[in-house]
Structure 1
Amino acid sequence: MCGRFVVARAVGEIQTIFEVDEIVGSIPGVSYNVAPTQPIAIIVDRAFEKAEDGSPIGELSREIHSARWGLVPRWAKSPDEHGPLINGRIESILEKPSFKDSVIRRRCVIPASGYYEWQVAADGTKQPFYISAGTDGMFALAGLYEWWADPSKNAADPARWLLSATTLTKDSAPELAHIHDRNPVLLSPDTFEAWLDPHIIGDQELLEAVAIDSDMVAAEAEFFKVGTDVGQVRNNSPELIRALS
């Protein structure tokens, strides 16, 4: 499972890389140790009008928003009722009440320079690895998002709404299986547009196509061992992604 990741580029660079039309609100900046429940940047394709069935009408705008990492289902009584839902297994998300509605049209991309994973040795010790898209690259992590309304706030209060998101994971690609048995779902140029497009209804066929292409992206990933300081959320510097000699 992916429990920490890195965003080593400023939001303006992310906007350029992913051809985003608009930055909405205040977006979190560079971080070398993004942890659950922290704010993260998500990319969505959004229509300004929707039909009664939720389908988009007219042209789409590609936007960057800030969201809480850890999806909060819209029917939850509080943001922490079910713990931070930071990952969803792509094999079963259509069966999970917390995720299945978001798969249909509330899909997003989470930009990441790379992520951390811990390899567990036979003696139980854990060695963190940094897995990345290379010095100049960025991963497009497949994600889902949801809006939760705080019942304690007035319906007209904009602060009533909490935007949250989760990353998706799958069985690890062969090249990464020696590190961990799961890896994030990594979008390819071919699946990126389809994943974001709310005109496309999310179904098993889309999930399978995304999972297949994820392995091709993962096969090109770079990885190396890093220090154990990443295990502490308070640590956040470029030193965290320095390879151990």
Structure 2
Amino acid sequence: MCGRFVVARTVGEIQTIFEADEIIGELPGISYNVAPTQPIAIIVDRAFEKAPDGSPLGELSREIHSARWGLVPRWSKGPAEGAPLINGRIESLLEKPSFKDSVVRRRCVIPASGYYEWHVAADGTKQPFYINAGTDGMFALAGLYEWWADPTKDAKDPSRWLLSATTLTKASCPELGHIHDRNPVLLSPDTFEAWLDPHIEGDQDLLDAIAIDSDLVAAEAEFYKVGAEVGQVRNNSAELIRSI
């Protein structure tokens, strides 16, 4: 399970790396300890017009938006209802009411320099690791997004809409299995475009494809032990990703 991650690049750098056309609104900056419910950057391919069935019409624009980390289903009573849905297990996405509709066309990429995972020893002690894409690299985490409308606000009030997102996880690749039994789904150059393209209806075949390629990306990840300070959300500096 990925419960904390790192974004060590500016919004402008992320736009360049992922070849986004536009930045929408105010986005969070560099963070070495992104935690659940905090705002995160998500990348989407979006059409300005849609057919009655929800399929996109015309050209797509690649946009970077700010979203709440922790998906809020559109039928939910609100963000405070239950634990935040920060992760979705890829094996059961199509069985879960909270996620299955988003798989079809509301897919996103969450840019991350790396993420933290805690290895639990036999005696119960926990050692955090920083699993990352290297000094110059970035991961493209597979995600889903959703829009939730606040029923207490006027239908014409733009602030009534909350954009939220979740990361996906899968059984850990062999190279990372000694740290934790699951890791985020990491998109490869081959699966990145298909995952973002809303012309492609998400189904089990697409999920299977990104799961297979995720292992190839994860096998190349760098990892090392870091200090326990990352366990406190208030700690947020480059010292958190220093190897110990």
Q: Normalised by the size of structure 1, how large is the TM-score?
A: 0.99
Offset at 1:81?
Answer: 1.1
Identical positions, percent: 86
Deviation at 1:82, TM superposition (A): 2.5
SS of residue paired to 1:16: helix
Q: What's the C-alpha RMSD, in Å, of the aligned pairs?
A: 0.3
Match of 1:243 in 2: 243
Corresponding residue of 2:218: 218
Deviation at 1:156, TM superposition (A): 0.3
Alpha-carbon distance in 2 for matches of 1:130, 1:58: 41
CA distance in 2, matches of 1:80, 1:221: 35
Q: Distance in 1 between matches of 2:104 and 2:82?
A: 22
Tell me the distance in 1 between the aligned counterparts of 2:78 and 2:186.
30
Distance in 1 (alpha carbons) for counterparts of 2:83 and 2:70: 8
Aligned to 1:78: 78
Aligned position for 1:196: 196
Any stretches of 5+ residues in structure 2 without a counterpart? none
- Alignment partner, residue 90 of structure 1: 90
Unaligned segments of structure 1, at least 5 residues: none
Q: CA separation in 2, counterparts of 1:189 and 1:224? A: 25
- The AA in structure 2 aligned to 1:94 is L
Aligned to 2:51: 51
What residue number does 2:17 align with?
17
Q: How many residues matched?
A: 244
Alignment deviations for residues 103-128 of structure 1 (CA, whole Å, 9 cap, x no partner): 00000000000000000000000000
The TM-score with structure 2 as length reference comes to 1.00
1:94-109 map, 5 Å: 94-109=94-109
Give me the whole-angstrom Cα distance separating, in 2, the residues matched to 1:127 and 1:152.
44
Q: Which runs of structure 1 show a deviation greater than 3 angstroms over 4 or more consecutive aligned residues?
A: none
AA of the residue aligned to 1:81:
E
- 1:169 corresponding residue in structure 2: 169
Residues 67-106 of structure 1, C-alpha deviations (whole Å, 9 max, x = no match): 0000000000111213200000000000000000000000
Residue deviations 1:181-224, cap 9 Å, x none? Answer: 00000000000000000000000000000000000000000000
Counterpart CA distance in 2 for 1:68 and 1:82 is 15
Q: Secondary structure at the match of 1:234?
A: coil
CA distance in 1, matches of 2:196, 2:175: 27
Q: Give SS of 2:91's match.
A: coil
For residues 35-69 of structure 1, give each alpha carbon's deviation from its aligned partner in whole angstroms, at most 9, with x where no partner exists: 00000000000000000000000000000000000
What secondary structure sits across from 1:109 in the alignment? strand
Cα distance in structure 2, aligned partners of 1:240 and 1:222: 16
Q: Distance in 2 between matches of 1:152 and 1:88?
A: 28
**Residue number in structure 2 paired with 1:64:** 64
